[in-house]
Every structure is written in C-alpha cells, then in structure tokens.
C-alpha cells in the first residue's frame, strides 16, 4: 500500500481503549528534503478517541 486513504482502517492500537484498529479521518502529505511522510488524523471506531500519527510513505 503506497497511500493512506480517508475512511480506511489503519492497524494501530487506540491509545484510550486499546481497540486494535483506527479509522483514517484526514491525511496531509508532508514533503521533507529526502522523503515524503503523511500526517494522519485518526479516530477510534469503538470509543471515538481522536489521535494523530506521522507515518512515512511506503516505497
Ligand atoms: Zn478507542
């Protein structure tokens, strides 16, 4: 998978209720000098907890 898509699930544990998967609510692409990363806004479908994550683009 080379992109993170809004509305798709992501395998990341919720920090609040430890649900094993969260939903991607918004993505922002960030370009650094040598690589591309994404800032992801995440929401747990179980408890509604909002979180963010900075993840590198998969090559
Ligand atoms: Zn949760």
Is residue 1 in a domain? no
Query: What is the model's pLDDT at position 58?
Result: 73
Query: What is the model's pLDDT at position 57?
Result: 85
- CATH number, position 32: 2.20.25
Other Cβ atoms less than 10 A from the Cβ of 53: the count is 15
Determine the structural domain holding residue 48 and report its residue range: 9-56
Is residue 36 in a domain? yes
2-58 pLDDT tens trace: 578 999 999 999 999 999 999 999 999 999 899 999 999 999 999 999 999 999 987
Domain count, the chain: 1
Note residues around ion ligand 1 (Cβ under 5 angstroms).
14, 16-17, 19, 44, 46-47, 49
Query: What is the model's pLDDT at position 2?
Result: 53
Is residue 19 in a domain? yes
- Contact 9/20 with Cβ under 8 angstroms? no
Res. 1: pLDDT tops 80:
no
User: What is the whole-number distance in angstroms between the Cα of residue 34 and the centre of ligand 1?
Assistant: 34
Residue 59 pLDDT level (bands cut at 50, 70, 90): low
Is residue 30 in a domain? yes
């Amino acid at each position: 998978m080379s992109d993170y898509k809004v509305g798709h699930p992501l395998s990341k544990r919720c920090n609040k209720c430890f649900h094993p998967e969260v939903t991607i609510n918004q993505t922002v692409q960030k370009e650094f000098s040598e690589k591309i990363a994404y800032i992801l806004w995440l929401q747990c479908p179980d408890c509604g907890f909002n979180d963010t994550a900075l993840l590198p683009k998969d090559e």
